[in-house]
Amino acid sequence: MTLLHTTRVRRRRLGVAAAAAGLLATLLTAGPAAATPDPGDTPAQAAISSEQAADTKSAIASGEIPPVDAVVHSDNIEHLVNIPKDALKGTNSDLAFQGKYAYAGNYDGFRIFDISNPKAPTTVAQVLCPGSQNDVTVSGDLLFLSTDSSRSDNSCSSTTQPATEKSSWEGMKIFDISDKRNPKYVAAVETACGSHTHTLVPKRRNVYIYVASYSPNATFPDCQPPHDGISVIKVPRRAPEKAAVVNFPVLFPGEGPDGGGNPGSPTNPGVSKTTGCHDITVLPSKDLAAGACMGDGILFDIEDPEHPKVIDQVQDNVNFAFWHSATFNQKANKVIFTDELGGGGAATCNAAIGPNRGADGIYDIVGRGENRKLVFRSYYKIPRHQADTENCVAHNGSLIPVKGRDIMVQAWYQGGVSVWDFTNSSKPKEIAYFERGPLSADTMVTGGSWSAYYYNGYIYSNDIAKGFDVLKLDDRRTDPAKRVRMDELNVQTQPDYFDDFDRD
């Protein structure tokens, strides 16, 4: 691990066209990891034709889309600040929050910001620890970091190595962050097929981690098919070095080598075959979890966190290509699932793709107990068409805690940040937005907001290319959320905002 020394620091219509415990910080010696976007996760970056590039330039000239890099937003959003990348040059990824700190993942490691003044965040630490995609969460004095790229070992100085080699390592890294300026790497746990994303289920003495990973291959010694479940890691808070995998529950039981998930193409053309989960969101106060699992969406019971039980399983073989993430509403009677069409590397927010693909799917939860079912209601997609040079698709977002309403903020890569209301499951609508013009008018350059989350009165966005953005939302529909204050937020571990708030 290397600790890096740093300074403080539209509506429009386009045409169709752990090595050792307690490892000490050292000087920067390693180069950045090769970075690719989250992509479902093999980004199918489409080539841009000369005609598409010309259309983009024409749309910019006519005012249909913003100029390259130009910032635009609705009247109810203010862009407070942007903090560019510094020592970590890789792809920016997910965010977590704790007190006055924000933790920003990057394919090269993670960065800690002091956000006590949201208008002027300062960098507290940058840790070099390459291993895409470095999904990050925090709980107490522990920070967890996902590695989903085959590495030579579990250290922060590892190098890439083929997954066909038995000695290769992928999995979960654990850091002690009691000293925010000097995080210490204390443990590592290898997991089957690595850790693409992970979700915390915090308990008093232990933290359970649900590890999502996928794409097994018979030639990968540590990632064998069918891989139809998730790894469950148990981390003793007082002895994190004893962290270990305690179960691998099968979520998609079935006969044969492919398990019981979506078979994908050619049975369901254009749909991902289910070989694991991409992301899981838990609602501990309700003992519920929702899994976005490539070709399937699932609802499961986590009353016993080591032995989750599937309640319902749904598919959308018409409009969903890759079930990417999930968000509950506060009452736990709805789930938003996202479709990452194109893996985050393609232009899907245009007239050619339309409003129902690369979108959010809104599902009501009906019934009780083990008889609960996921019932589809509608799709939501940003109403502003993007250029064919802009990667754009539904991505990571969070609830904005407003009693009696279902409102969330969400990242859309180069589609920017969208705030939308789904109180009426059948008629979702956008109420605010922030975005930039394309990174390029000539070629497809991957960028945009990876994660956009609401925390203690502000929206924080981790932009793949541009860095860390802070937005302020002023709207009578969302203003009540400013009174809700959290001590800690890992978005995929959804809090019961109002019970927590009412106890304060």
**pLDDT attached to residue 468:** 98
**pLDDT attached to residue 11:** 38
**pLDDT attached to residue 26:** 22
Residue 271 reports pLDDT greater than 80 = yes
- CB < 8 Å & 24+ apart, contacts of 189-192: 189/233, 189/243, 189/244, 189/245, 190/154, 190/222, 191/231, 191/233, 191/245, 192/216, 192/222, 192/223, 192/224, 192/227, 192/231, 192/248
**pLDDT attached to residue 296:** 98
Residue 341 reports pLDDT greater than 70 = yes
Q: What pTM was estimated for this model as a whole?
A: 0.91
**pLDDT confidence band for 500 (50 / 70 / 90):** low
Q: What are the tens digits of pLDDT across the range 125-162?
A: 999 999 999 999 999 999 999 999 999 999 999 999 99
Q: Among 115, 395, 398, which residue's Cα sits nearest to residue 104?
A: 115
Q: What are the tens digits of pLDDT across the range 46-55?
A: 567 888 888 8
**pLDDT attached to residue 2:** 62
Q: Which tokens go with 84?
A: 């560019």
Q: What percent of the chain has pLDDT over 90?
A: 84
Q: What is the mean pLDDT of residues 441-456?
A: 95
Q: 54 near 17, Cβ under 8 Å?
A: no
Q: Whose structure tokens read 């969903």?
A: 320
Mean pLDDT of the chain: 90
Q: Which tokens go with 362?
A: 């809104």
Q: 241 near 172, Cβ under 8 Å?
A: no
Q: How far apart are CA 440 and CA 391, in angstroms?
A: 11
Residue 434 reports pLDDT greater than 60 = yes
Q: What are the tens digits of pLDDT across the range 184-210?
A: 999 999 999 999 999 999 999 999 999
Least confident of 99-113, 214-228, 245-259: 245-259
Q: What are the tens digits of pLDDT across the range 161-173?
A: 999 999 999 999 9
Under 8 Å CB-to-CB from 176, ≥6 apart: which residues?
A: 141, 142, 143, 183, 184, 186, 240
Residue 502 reports pLDDT greater than 90 = no
Residue 323 reports pLDDT greater than 90 = yes
Outline where 50-90 has alpha helix (H).
Answer: 50-62
Q: What are the tens digits of pLDDT across the range 368-402?
A: 999 999 999 999 999 999 999 999 999 999 999 99
Least confident of 102-116, 117-131, 410-424, 490-504: 490-504
Q: What is the mean pLDDT of residues 12-34?
A: 30
Q: C-alpha 447: how far from its chain's center?
A: 14
Under 8 Å CB-to-CB from 312, ≥6 apart: which residues?
A: 298, 299, 372, 373, 374
Q: What percent of the chain has pLDDT over 70?
A: 89
Q: What are the tens digits of pLDDT across the range 59-72?
A: 888 888 899 999 99
Q: CA separation (Å) from 285 to 264, 320, 327? A: 34, 29, 14
Strand order in the sheet with 449-455: 77-83, 467-473, 458-463, 449-455
Q: How far apart are CA 424 and CA 427, in angstroms?
A: 5
Q: What is the mean pLDDT of residues 349-355?
A: 95
**pLDDT attached to residue 4:** 63
Length of the chain: 504
Residue 35 reports pLDDT greater than 80 = no
Q: How far apart are CA 92 and CA 134, in angstroms?
A: 9
**pLDDT attached to residue 487:** 97
Q: Among 288, 289, 268, which residue's Cα sits nearest to residue 277?
A: 289
Q: What is the mean pLDDT of residues 458-465?
A: 98
Under 8 Å CB-to-CB from 331, ≥6 apart: which residues?
A: none
Under 8 Å CB-to-CB from 125, ≥6 apart: which residues?
A: 3, 4, 6, 111, 112, 180, 181, 182, 183
Q: How far apart are CA 103 and CA 154, in angstroms?
A: 21
Q: What is the mean pLDDT of residues 222-230?
A: 95
**pLDDT confidence band for 6 (50 / 70 / 90):** very low
Residue 99 reports pLDDT greater than 80 = yes
Residue 9 reports pLDDT greater than 50 = no
Dmax (CA) for the chain in angstroms is: 61
Q: How far apart are CA 33 and CA 277, in angstroms?
A: 24
Q: Which tokens go with 348?
A: 């899907």
Q: How far apart are CA 197 and CA 292, in angstroms?
A: 11
Beta bridge partners of 212: 197
Q: 458 near 118, Cβ under 8 Å?
A: yes
- How many CA within 13 A on the CB side of residue 291? 34
What would the 3-class secondary structure string for 350-412 be? CCCCCCCCCCEEEEEEECCHHHCEEEEEEEECCCCCCCCCCCECCCEEEECCCCCCCEEEEEE
**pLDDT attached to residue 49:** 81
Residue 34 reports pLDDT greater than 50 = no
Residue 415 reports pLDDT greater than 80 = yes
**pLDDT attached to residue 40:** 41
Most confident of 13-17, 34-38, 397-401, 443-447: 397-401
Q: What is the mean pLDDT of residues 298-309?
A: 97
